[in-house]
Structure 1
Amino acid sequence: MGSDPLWTGYRHRAVDADGWMTFWRLDPREQPFELHDWIGRPDRPGHRLWSRAATPAGVRASWQTSASSVSLEIRGALDIYSLIAPVDFLVNGELHERRGVEAGEQRLTVELPGGPVDLEIWLPQAGAIGVRAVSFDGEATPSPPIGPRWITYGSSITQCTGAYGPSETWPALVARQHGWDLVALGFAGECHLDPIAARTIRDTPARLISLCLGINIYGGETFSGRTLPGQVEEFISTVRDGHPHTPMVVITPLPAPNVEGKPNAHGLTLDDVRACVELGARTLRDPDLQLIDGRTVLSIEEAQALYADDLHPGPEGYRLIAERLAPLLTLPL
């Protein structure tokens, strides 16, 4: 995706006059504001989709190298949650070093084993991040992903800001287990069936698509019981325009113990939202679409034990989600 053959997992790459790259997971050229103007600024009241899209969750690069060290020039800024996630350096598929990112410009240098290895760098899944250069003190050959591409769309529970690191979000764990080329379209607080998200998925080649729908719609009171099924149906139909027979999985909201049974301003409980999402998905009578009830991914008791707050799993919760979903998210033989 995008125009840089080294990095993967993004839609558009913007480069400023000083060479700093921003990896956008949606294309900001469809949004009427200057690219430099997004940091720390809501696009309009209550709307932060574009700042979320500029966080490089799931964006990564890989090399085959015999170098003894690698250096990454990176620039960090706090997001609205005052959080910058770390960078993960993986060697031969295993976490080699996790390095924190401070606000401002910095160079992260990591020692490598020194023999021929496969190196992956996973960029932070939280924060306002710019990248300028990766350098080695020896030979390094880019090795782009060769596995089938998987696109997953969802909320903060898909962006996974609270995971230990970017290679341990649940989408990253599932993709690494299966050897898939991940495109992670998790947007914290901003999974509201936006047309730009549907068009992005429609226009991106993929072998598998998963959509985790409903929790932000419940909390943001985006749609009513009358409008939500139709919005789900329209979103899936737009995706299907570019993927007529691609396997698709729709996942309804995971448990949220402290709000289950509580109606929002539209009178919808989370169970009502789950029913509306299921209705919208089933209306299409799509033989290539599978539904997963989020309550089967985690139990209420597991959520109570593993959530960091009323809604968000902690790091071990994301690991368990990956463990539960990995065998359910599969490609046909």
Structure 2
Amino acid sequence: MTGRLADIPLPDGSVEVRGALHLERTAHGLRPWRLPAWTAAQFPDEALLRVAQMPSGVRLAFRTAATVLELAIQAPPEPPRPGAVELMLDGLRTDRAALPAAGGPAVLRFTVGAGAAVAGGAEREVELWLPQWTSVELVALRADAPVLAPRPSGRRRWLHHGSSISQAPEADSAAETWPWIAADRAGADLLNLSLAGNAHLDPFTARTVRDQPADLISLKIGINVLTAASFRRRAFGPAVHGFLDTVREGHPDTPLLLVSPVLSPPFERTPGPGRYEQTADGPRFAALGDPADIPAGALTLETVRAELARIAAARSAGDPHLHYLDGLALLGPRDADGLADLLHPNPAGHRLIGERFAELAFGPGGAFAPARPGAA
């Protein structure tokens, strides 16, 4: 029988906020950030700060025998995609609570149910995964049984950095993004440092990756370079080398997977920048650059993939733990129906990428396969 709900202090020793690198104290509660606080001073751009506050891959983790949980949150008004909070019990998705479309304050209730209660009231490992595309402030956590600190998962910590394709606005919840799908299949502990529109090889991002504990690291680089036209060939290669050098300062032997962009037809042979347009077929991305500028150094996805493959091959001679994965193996020309707007994957595309990444990276012979030399 359900008892009285008691407030669980946030944060305290019994509740871990996994996947967040900074907790900001606000008027309502706590706002998780996926970048350290010091990075805001190095690039105080509103778009970057906004996506860093979106808790993709952030979850509350604890242990309890409770049958009812409540999470009180404060969301921004009229979020573009409110999303949902997912309840995981012992690693399995068992319940979901959608955020209100209008945003604002909400109390999300999760009924664990008699079927989930273990004989004798034994505690279960609980995770509440926050939405990946809406910033939230954590106001209160309530439970009808005591809450204890989670046990160590024993899983390898996989740190992934990418763009909006990895942050995944099109997915209905964090548990339907391709990194979560891959981590779930592979049994990995995900830290998602993907920053929509902001995967530009920034030094502060490289230092963040360098300083985080990780057993596995993947860097998905390239599409934002095209959509913002932030690099030309002369600067792109050295910037990739510099990013990798910084990461290797903190992770000299960690399996490191360099991943090139998945399919995006507008940018395959046409340089950026890009523009989001409303068309008769719905929202679509368009490439605005001039192919005649390619010989002078303008980048396309074809040249970005070739450059990343060349860099990985050149460095791997002295770095046997560095590997390369062609993004077209995750979602390529035969999978164009997995794109929502000619750039971002739709839900089916996310499932496809997640399943293929789990197989190609974590499976036999993959960069993250446990039996590989240097793997944790």
TM-score under structure 1 length normalisation: 0.89
Q: How far has the Cα of 1:212 moved from its partner?
A: 0.4
Aligned to 2:242: 234
Name the counterpart of 2:6: none
In structure 2, stretches of 5+ residues that fail to align are 1-10, 119-123, 273-288, 290-296, 362-367, 372-376
Shift of 1:148: 1.4
* CA distance in 2: counterparts of 1:214 and 1:222, whole angstroms: 10
Q: Does 1:163 align with 2:161?
A: no
Q: Once structures 1 and 2 are overlaid, which stretch shifts more, 217-226 or 106-115?
A: 106-115
1:67-107 alpha-carbon deviations (Å, 9 max, x no partner): 1200001111158x722221111233332222111211111
CA shift at 1:16, angstroms? 2.2
8 Å CA contact retained: 2:315, 2:322: no
Partner of 1:313: 345
| Residue 282 (structure 2) aligns with | none
Q: C-alpha separation between the residues in 1 aligned to 2:41 and 2:219?
A: 27
What's 2:329 paired with? 296
* Contact 1:58–1:123 (Cα < 8 Å) also in 2: yes
236-245 vs 98-107, greater mean Cα deviation: 98-107
- The AA in structure 2 aligned to 1:135 is R
Structure 1 residues 148-297: aligned runs within 5 Å: 148-264=156-272, 265=289, 267-285=298-316, 286-297=319-330
Mapped to 1, the partners of 2:12 and 2:233 lie a distance apart of 41
**CA separation of 1:215 and 1:21: change in aligned 2, threshold 3 A:** same
What is the deviation of 1:22? 1.1
Aligned-partner SS, 2:199: coil
- Relative distance call for 1:3 and 1:222 in structure 2 (3 A) is farther
Q: Compute the displacement of 1:133 (Å).
A: 2.0
Partner SS for 2:55: coil
Task: Select between 322-331 and 227-236 the one with higher mean Cα deviation.
Answer: 322-331
Aligned twin of 1:105: 105
Q: For 2:192, what is the secondary structure of its paired residue? A: strand
Asked whether the 8 Å contact 2:222–2:260 carries over to 1, the reply is: yes
Shift of 1:281: 3.3
Question: Which one is further off, 163-172 or 216-225?
Answer: 163-172
Once the two structures are superposed, residues 21-50 of structure 1 have per-residue CA deviations (whole angstroms, 9 ceiling, x without a partner) of 1111111233239xxxxxxxx944xx6222
Specify the code of the residue in structure 2 equivalent to 1:308.
A
Q: Does the C-alpha gap of structure 1 residues 232 and 15 become closer, same or farther in structure 2, counting only changes over 3 Å?
A: same
Alignment of 1:59-74 (within 5 A): 59-74=58-73
- Cα distance in 2 for residues equivalent to 1:107 and 1:289: 45
CA distance in 1, matches of 2:54, 2:37: 12
Q: 1:243 to 1:53 in 2, by over 3 A?
A: same
Mapping of residues 125-164 of structure 1, within 5 Å: 125-144=132-151, 145-164=153-172
Is 2:178–2:350's contact at 8 Å kept on the other side of the alignment?
yes
- CA RMSD in angstroms comes to 2.2
Q: Secondary structure at the match of 1:67?
A: coil
Residue type matched to 1:316 in 2?
Answer: A
1:168-208 deviation digits (Å, cap 9, x = unpaired): 21111122222222110111111101111111110011110
Residue 231 of structure 1 deviates from its aligned partner by 0.5
- Whether the 8 Å CA contact 2:218–2:256 is kept in 1: the answer is yes
Q: CA deviation at 1:326?
A: 0.3
Q: Per-residue displacement from partner, 1:135-194 (whole Å, max 9, x unpaired)? A: 111233231543111100000111012113111211111222222221101111111011
For each residue in 1:262-321, what CA deviation from the matched residue of structure 2 results, as whole angstroms up to 9, or x when unmatched? 13345322101112222333343321111011111122131x211111101111111110
Q: How many residues align structurally?
A: 319
Q: TM-score, normalised by structure 2?
A: 0.79
Do the aligned partners of residues 73 and 146 (structure 1) sit closer, same or farther apart at CA in structure 2, a change above 3 Å counting?
Answer: farther
Tell me which residue corresponds to 1:326.
358
Q: Which runs of 5+ in 1 are unaligned?
A: 34-41
Aligned-partner SS, 2:41: coil
Mapped to 2, the partners of 1:3 and 1:56 lie a distance apart of 19
Give how far 1:17 is off: 4.3
* 2:199–2:225 contact (8 Å) kept in structure 1: yes
Question: Contact 1:77/1:84 (CA < 8 Å) preserved in 2?
Answer: no
Q: Pick which of 242-251 and 90-99 moved more.
A: 90-99
- In 1: Cα distance, 2:239 partner to 2:314 partner: 11
Task: Give the SS at the match of 2:265.
Answer: coil
Between the aligned partners of 1:292 and 1:71, the Cα distance in structure 2 is: 41
CA distance in 2, matches of 1:243, 1:153: 15
CA distance in 2, matches of 1:299, 1:318: 13
